[in-house]
Amino acid sequence: MLKGKTVLLGVTGSIAAYKAADLASRLMKQHAQVHVIMTENAAKFISPITFETLTNRKCITDTFDRDYPSDHPVEVEHIALAKKADLVIVAPATANIIAKMAYGIADDMLSTTLLACTCPVLVSPAMNTKMYEHPATQANLAVLRQRGVKIIEPSSGLLACGDEGKGKLPEPAVLVDHILAEIACPKDLAGKKILVTAGPTREAIDPVRFITNHSSGKMGYAIAHAAALRGADVTLVSGPVSLTPPLGVKLVPISSAHDLFCAVTAVSAEQDIIIKAAAVADYRPVTVSDEKIKKADNDLSLSLARTEDTLQYLGAHKPEGQILCGFAMETSDLENKARAKLKKKNLDMIVANNVKVAGAGFGTDTNVVTFITKDNTEQLEIMSKENVAMKLLDRLLEM
Ligand code: CTP
């Protein structure tokens, strides 16, 4: 998602500097051009060689470094880097660099480069809780915020110094998410409200058992993530999954098909686009036993009742201009069955996939889908769920 983007990573002297190596590696995996600038103190915690190996680039520590390769044009490095950067992130950011940024002090390569940058700047403070909460640090952070610098809240927990509290560098995956949110995509869904459902539902049998399905939630979460990166106001109604909710989405956790119906219909009228990727149970046990059902020698039958079909309800109550997209998971006769659902549920599009096709369906990181509208059928190649999500949003936006 960061192909063609230049990210400057400023690393300062906090014990969390080791996590910046993981961040650099993750940015490389997103195909960013990563340039690392370390302060002298940071280089006492982690070697510049670590970053050089991860980024295939010289890690800069010295403003007056004149060690150019012979064929390298002589550049004023801090200005050249500042011009090249699409984004700068200082992670971990010590109280010292935050103070220097607030006052415009430029006395080493990182602070000098920061002063020359006009691109978005992210600062991820990491320090002892007392230092973080100190009025001086908070005042400096307030100055930076006012200037448009985005401050990433430190997380709480056991700190390296043994204290417990706020001041930990968030996990590198979270930092990458903040970077993606800034520069990965054009904000072509800004101002749009999008509701996504994801994951399975659970229909209780007794206090310890339930009926569910194999949905991992990955497809729905990829859609919610992509929509948020493109600037939409995203609500994600999610069944129980083991995924981290994407940054910036409103998560509404649900369990049963009835919960899903209530959560969705509470906000559906105000949505521009609704995408129903959840694998909703069609049946639930008629009665839920208060006590654990004990086994007996004979067979056991469960009486099942139909759940509400949320998508069908939405299709029947669709406000003017709203785009409604369903999913259809089939095991045979994909297009005809999906097309029948498109019509029956009054949808604008249905995303159909066949669970029996390799690389499609539950739990995988890829999918093989067909976009079906009233007048068109578009068969997509196998691709990552992230790419399916992006293509789906392109089509819905065109609509
Ligand atoms: N859906 C729903 N509520 C239900 C069942 C399904 O909102 N009780 C939605 C799903 O989120 C999906 C679409 O309807 O977007 C199609 O779901 P699917 O299970 O493929 O089809 P069903 O309509 O349930 O029909 P069948 O199970 O017979 O294939």
DSSP character at residue 178:
H
Q: Which residue matches tokens 């448009």?
A: 148
Ligand 1 centre to CA of 302 (Å) is 21
- 344 Cα nearest atom in ligand 1: 23
Is residue 97 within 6 Å of ligand 1 at its C-beta?
Answer: no
What is each CA distance from 364 to 250, 270, 359, in whole angstroms? 25, 32, 7
What is each CA distance from 263 to 232, 236, 320, 323, 348, in whole angstroms? 19, 10, 21, 18, 22
Q: Which residue matches tokens 């002892």?
A: 128
Given 3-state DSSP classes, what are the helix, strand and coil percentages for the chain, each rounded to the nearest 5?
Answer: 35, 25, 40
pLDDT in tens, 60-115: 887 666 565 666 665 667 788 899 999 999 999 999 999 999 999 999 999 999 99
293: confidence class by pLDDT, cuts 50, 70, 90: very high
pTM value is: 0.90
pLDDT in tens, 203-217: 999 999 999 999 999
How far is it, in rounded angstroms, from Cα 6 to Cα 168?
Answer: 26
What is each CA distance from 84 to 17, 116, 340, in whole angstroms? 24, 11, 52
Lowest mean pLDDT among 18-32, 98-112, 277-291, 350-364: 350-364
Q: Which CATH class is domain 6-183?
A: alpha beta
Is residue 313 over pLDDT 90? yes
Could you tell which of 213, 276, 314, 337 is best to mutate to test the pocket of ligand 1, judged by most ligand atoms within 8 Å of the CB?
Answer: 276
225: confidence class by pLDDT, cuts 50, 70, 90: very high
Return mean pLDDT, the chain.
94
Ligand 1 centre to CA of 279 (Å) is 7
Which tokens hold the place of 378? Answer: 């578009």
Instruction: Give the pLDDT confidence score for residue 161 in this predicted structure.
Output: 81
Is residue 239 within 6 Å of ligand 1 at its C-beta?
Answer: no
Could you tell which of 304, 341, 350 is best to mutate to test the pocket of ligand 1, judged by most ligand atoms within 8 Å of the CB?
Answer: 341
pLDDT in tens, 329-349: 999 999 999 999 999 999 999
Fold agreement (6-183, 193-398): yes
Is residue 8 over pLDDT 80? yes
Half-sphere exposure of 394 (CA within 13 A, CB side): 9
How far is it, in rounded angstroms, from Cα 235 to Cα 356?
Answer: 30
Decide if 262 is catalytic. Answer: no
Cβ contacts of 131 within 8 Å, gap of 6 or more: 95, 137, 167
How far is it, in rounded angstroms, from Cα 94 to Cα 124?
Answer: 9
DSSP character at residue 200:
B
Q: Which residue matches tokens 């059902």?
A: 293
Q: Which CATH class is domain 193-398?
A: alpha beta
Work out the burial of residue 258: count CB atoms within 10 Å of its CB; fewer than 13 is exposed, 13-18 middle, 19 or more buried: middle
pLDDT in tens, 25-64: 999 999 999 999 999 999 999 999 999 999 999 998 876 6
Question: Which is catalytic among the residues 161, 185, 262, 325?
Answer: 161
Cβ contacts of 329 within 8 Å, gap of 6 or more: 279, 352, 353, 354, 355, 361
Could you tell which of 238, 261, 311, 351 is best to mutate to test the pocket of ligand 1, judged by most ligand atoms within 8 Å of the CB?
Answer: 311
Which tokens hold the place of 118? Answer: 């006009």
Give residue limits of the domains in the chain.
6-183, 193-398
Instruction: Choose among 35, 65, 136: nearest CA to 94.
Output: 136
Is residue 189 within 6 Å of ligand 1 at its C-beta?
Answer: no
Is residue 376 over pLDDT 70? yes
